[in-house]
Structure 1
Amino acid sequence: MQAGTVHGGVHLHHAPRSQRPVPRQLPPDTSRFTGREDALSRLDARAGTATLITGTAGVGKTALAVRWAHRHRDRFPDGQLYVDMRGYSPRGPLTADQALEGFLHALDVDPERVPVDPEDKAALYRSVTDGRRFLVLVDNVSAADQARPLLAASDTVTVLVTSRNRLPGLVSRDGVGRLGLDVLSPAESISLLRATAGGDRVDADPAAAARLADQCARLPLALRVAAERCADAPFTTLADLTADLAAEQDRLDLLSSGDDPNAAVRAVLSWSYRALPADAAAAFRAFGLHVTSEASLDALAVLLDLPAASTRRVVDTLVAAHLVEPTARDRYRVHDLLRAYAVERANADQPPEEGAAAVRRVLAWYLHTAFAADRTLLPLYRRTPLPAEDVTPLDFADRAAAMRWCEAERANLVGAVRLAADAGHHDLAGRFPSALWSFFDLRKLWADWTAVFEIGLTSTRITGDRHAEADVLNWLGVAFHDTGRYDRAIDHHQEALAVSREIGDQLTEAGALANLSSVYRRLARFDEALDCLHRSLTIRRATRDLRGEAITLNRLGAVYRDLGRLDESLDHLRRSLDLRKRTGDRHGEGFAHHSLAATYEGLRQSDLAVAHYRRCIEAHREVGNLSGEAKGLDCLGKVLDRTGDTTGAKAVWEQALAIYETIGSAEAYQVRARLAG
């Protein structure tokens, strides 16, 4: 791929909508939820505030928050946001910065308007949610700094935070209320056993039911898993269960630690795991090998090296045993305690080389599937093929399907890069940036973008892959340019230039020069920008890179317009548009028409400016680029207003405003002011 030439190309949006989409991100409600009426009432009283729900692992913090959220979702018509902060994950927690990017994306804020600085992101999040009726559930927090930026400033927003820790700073400094959740009462424990194992069993032996509750430390997670052992076994009694569990506790030397909730959970898990059929046990261990606690059926099939149908059958066994939970169709999540146990069993119960091969296989599958998505998102750009791996990646019917997969797998993709580097698979880690370039450029997920690409850069240097190193340097330069870190952008582009020249990679050299010119133009260093562009143009013509030539001509036209050399600007932009048409670059035509319209405005040829703005709008609308369409409409309105067509200007500004409001763009305020004036 030519680094940097795709920047700003495609924006995957749908047709304009009359209102923002409403995020509905809550996990499914917990089945057979029992008790907790006092805690639910206390949450009722705290609606419109922030509440921290604390308690030991497995006590039901998330289940309580999700139950309350579903019970009151009608009170939050503007949406419900959810994020798992993975505070206790062995692979590392989610940062508040990453969570904010996800929330702002869910709120349909234009990616190009999302600031880089975490504090600015938090301020934008508070602004977008201010005065609107939202519920925000921030799950599995381990430190106050993970949750603090996600607190809202409006009393119309209810925030629920769950954590094993008491987080005193969040309470004292931020005024968050704390709701401590204890284990179930004896009566609640028996009610849960009734709902799970069956009322007849409980009535037949109340003493055994009470013993089972005590053996499980009255933790909902342990009780559900234990009771499920007899739910489908009509001849198994609760006394049988308590005897089996006592034997398991003896085996683990945990019989005397009934006051230790974690010990009780581990005993129940060990007991349930050993009862699984071999194929289901292997599937449980696969969750310990996976990148995060949430996995698709496809990824699990790759880990198990089984067909999807066979994988679904064995995973259904785990669902029935309450060891994993479905979160969507063919998508599953495992509780972090269960995942920790799955990691332990994966390390203990299968040969190390078998587990290592499975991890390598799933990382390669994520890489190759991401590469397939990248080709679908931006199909017209050059790419360096990936090395062959014995995996079958997914195919994508269209851009929307590719983007949906990238968004659903975002956490796993970021985690895969980290895991690949940590596990020494630098040949994979170094290629993830090329496979994720289109997704990150289109979605502007700055924190993930820079983190993934910096890991990839280190890996390319470890493997000595100089071509990949030059590409990643160039792409990082684009990220730093877009986020206003111009010195770092220049450094990375210049380093990319040095590496590409050293290895004779002219395509990357031309892309780096063009990207460097954009930084110089932003800094009004026009002579340096022109020098870079002329050198880029020479290379692209020598290598017959027509698309690259079109991009460089367009950027030359923009610099000449800045310098007031409008005839030269017009000449370069016309040639760029011609090449866009010849190469079938429809979305590129939209940008070319916009640039031509701007130059015609400078030449005071308003009729031609209007014509090109209309063609720009048409092209952007055709490819679904809402941002480009809105900017075209906005500029068209300004030309119409200046030429006396105030009615026409008002009509297109109203269209632009509808789009700007849909994508959460800052330009909405300015358009609204023009319409009011």
Structure 2
Amino acid sequence: ERTAPGRYRPRPAPPAHPAGVRSGDGAALRRLAGHYLHTAHHADRVIAPHHPPLPLAPLEPGCTPESFVSREAALAWLDEEHHPLTAVRESARDSGQRWTVFHLAACLNGHYVRRGHTALQRAQWADALRAAHALGDPEAQITAHRYAGQAASRAGRHIEALAHLERAVRIAERHGRPGPQAWAYYILAWTEEMAGQDAAALTHAICAAGLFARAQQWTAQADALNAAGWYFTRLGDPAQAERYCARALDLSRRHRYLGGQAAALDSLGLLAQQTGRHEDAVRAFSAALAHCRTLGNTYQEAGALDRLGDSYAATGRPADASTVWAGAAAVYRSQDRLREAASVERRLTALA
């Protein structure tokens, strides 16, 4: 049904597809899936140009995807086409278009992570995981397990997350692929952090950084170096933390990787905060926030706002602290991160 000029969405309760779909209907569904898949792929590449291109199937005759000239336009399309993208994935799943299911998940994962859409991320990787194993493709299986693990970890399902990530590591080791193996270790580090196991997380992050270097995946190496620095900070080793985070920031700047710069600046802000340099922390968090907003990364933005409020409070700026904490609490709640929201709200109450 039409919702705006040039915009459509599935009806809220569409009837089930007939058991025997006519060949013309099947071709139309393939064109529809191709349109959304190729448009989503282009949107992802505009927002995150460091992501490698996917080997998508050629477009069906008569299928014309959309293109974008800015990050803002790509982000707006992904937000607006939320319901159709879900329906296209489910249609492709039900009609056996396994590569379409897998590639849609790969294109949309970054957006779901940025926006904190954890339930959608879990649902799409459940479908993509079945598709990857049915295809028998090891790299697709590694990717599906690692992102299924990431989604489970964000949902607070630690045991499920570890099972997926350990499976990803085993498949990668069996096939001798350092890049996919590195990604599995990197997300495994994040999962251990979510469970409060910072020492284990540090070990996995350092391992991931070395494997990314072997695979010459420099932006990913920057992420892993920054993760290691973050864990050194949390473990009380500021000298090592600063060394790793500074390397991550330098590598991200050399490769014009805004996401890596945002993450490294956030880590350096936390390090400055923990060593009592709150004005340095304010500058670092503010720079990280600017990059997060450019990228539409509301998930990371909430954490930076949270920590920026702490430094504002420490430097005697309660009005500024109140403003950013209110923003952090609102984003946390919109993403069902209720524990983090409650923590910020307690500080707001104490400040008042």
Identity of aligned residues (%): 25
Residue 338 of structure 2 is matched in structure 1 by: none
1:601 aligned partner: 273
RMSD, aligned CA: 2.9
Instruction: Give the superposition deviation at 1:378.
Output: 2.2
Higher radius of gyration, 1 or 2: 1
Residues 622 and 410 of structure 1: CA distance in aligned 2, closer, same or farther (over 3 Å): closer
Q: Which of 555, 563, 566 is the matching residue for 2:235? A: 563
* Amino acid aligned to 1:651: A
Matching residue within 165, 173, 179 for 1:501: 173
- In 2, the alpha carbon distance for the partners of 1:606 and 1:459 equals 49
2:132–2:141 Cα contact (<8 Å) kept = yes
Quick check: 565-574 or 616-625, which moved more? Answer: 616-625
CA distance in 2, matches of 1:405, 1:467: 29
Contact 2:265/2:287 (CA < 8 Å) preserved in 1? yes
In the alignment, is residue 327 of structure 1 matched against residue 6 of structure 2?
no
The one-letter code of the counterpart of 1:481 is S
What is the rounded CA distance, in whole Å, between the counterparts of 1:551 and 1:612 in structure 2?
Answer: 17
Q: What is the Cα deviation at residue 529 of structure 1?
A: 2.4
Q: How does 1:334-345 map to 2 (within 5 A)?
A: none
Structure 1 pair 490/605, CA: closer, same or farther in 2 (3 Å)? same
Q: Which runs of 5+ in 2 are unaligned?
A: 334-340
Matches of 1:362 and 1:472, distance apart in 2? 24
Match of 1:675, as an amino acid? Answer: L
2:58 match: secondary structure: coil
Aligned length: 341
Alignment partner of 1:440: what SS? helix
Aligned position for 2:188: 516
1:469 match: 141
Aligned counterpart in structure 2 of residue 659 of structure 1, from 305, 324, 327: 327
Whole-Å Cα distance in 2 between the matches of residues 374 and 673 of structure 1? 39
TM-superposed CA distance for 1:630, in Å, is: 5.7
The structure whose RCO (Cα within 8 Å, separation 6+) is larger is: 1
1:354 aligned to which of 21, 24, 29:
24
TM value normalised by structure 2: 0.85
Question: Contact 1:633/1:652 (CA < 8 Å) preserved in 2?
Answer: no
Tell me the CA shift for residue 485 of structure 1. Answer: 0.4
Deviation at 1:664, TM superposition (A): 6.2
Gapped runs of 5+ residues in structure 1?
1-293, 295-325
Query: What is the CA-CA distance between 1:417 and the residue it aligns to?
Result: 1.9
**1:630 touches 1:655 (CA, 8 Å); kept in 2?**
no
Q: What is the DSSP-based 3-state SS (H/G/I as helix, E as strand, rest coil) of the residue aligned with 2:74?
A: helix
Call closer, same or farther: CA 1:525–1:423 in 2, change over 3 Å. same
8 Å Cα contact 2:302/2:332 also seen in 1 = no
- Cα distance between partner residues in 1 of 2:113 and 2:276: 35
1:104-127 CA distance string (max 9 Å, x none): xxxxxxxxxxxxxxxxxxxxxxxx
* Bigger strand fraction: 1
Alignment partner, residue 485 of structure 1: 157
Q: Does the aligned pair in 1 maintain the 2:169–2:184 contact within 8 Å?
A: yes
Q: Deviations over 1:49-107 (max 9, x none)?
A: xxxxxxxxxxxxxxxxxxxxxxxxxxxxxxxxxxxxxxxxxxxxxxxxxxxxxxxxxxx
Q: Give CA-to-partner distance per residue, 1:128-175, whole Å, 9 cap, x none.
A: xxxxxxxxxxxxxxxxxxxxxxxxxxxxxxxxxxxxxxxxxxxxxxxx
Distance 1:631 1:616 in 2: 10
Displacement of 1:607 = 4.8
Give the Å deviation of 1:567. 1.1
Q: Measure the CA separation in 1 of the matches of 2:294 and 2:86.
A: 31
Q: Note the alpha carbon deviations across 1:536-591, whole angstroms, 9 max, x for none.
A: 12211122222111111111112212222221111111111111211112343232
Q: TM-score, normalised by structure 1?
A: 0.46
Q: Distance in 2 between matches of 1:501 and 1:427?
A: 23
Does the alignment pair 1:371 with 2:37? no
Q: In structure 1, give the amino acid aligned to 2:3.
A: T
Q: Per the alignment, do residues 415 and 332 of structure 1 end up closer, same or farther by CA in structure 2, a change over 3 Å counting?
A: closer
Shift of 1:463: 1.7
Secondary structure of the equivalent of 1:479? helix
What is the Cα deviation at residue 364 of structure 1?
2.1
CA distance in 2, matches of 1:594, 1:353: 53
Q: Conserved in 2, the CA contact under 8 Å of 1:417 and 1:456?
A: no
Aligned partner of 1:455 in structure 2 is 127
Q: Is residue 430–residue 460 contact of structure 1 (8 Å, CA) maintained in 2?
A: yes
Q: Tell me the residue number matched to 1:672.
A: 348
Match of 1:554 in 2: 226
Q: Aligned with 1:548: secondary structure?
A: helix
CA contact (8 A) 2:278 2:311 kept: yes
